[in-house]
Amino acid sequence: MDSLNGILEKFFQKMGSKPKQSKVLASQLIKRAEQIARSEEISQDEALKQLLQKIMDHQS
């Protein structure tokens, strides 16, 4: 389960989400990264990095 979905699910679980919720959050995050990548003409990796940074910023 080292797919991107699996990695993000583990990330959200470590942040306190339940497994079912983590699965939904991971899927939504990937979809949003795809949208941002298209609209801003950046890579999906860069969009995902930006989103994850926002999540981490709000946790501190």
Which contacts of 46-54 are long-range, i.e. CB under 8 A and separated by 24 or more positions?
A: 52/11
**pLDDT at residue 59 in the model:** 82
Which residues span the domain enclosing 53?
A: 4-59
| Cβ partners under 8 Å of residue 8, min gap 6 | 22, 25, 26, 29, 30
Question: How many domains is the chain partitioned into structurally?
Answer: 1
Q: pLDDT tens for residues 1-45?
A: 469 999 999 999 999 999 999 999 999 999 999 999 999 999 999
Polymer length of the chain: 60
Per DSSP, the three-state class of 31 is helix
Alpha helices in the chain (DSSP H): 4-14, 19-40, 44-59
Is this model's pTM higher than 0.85 or not? yes
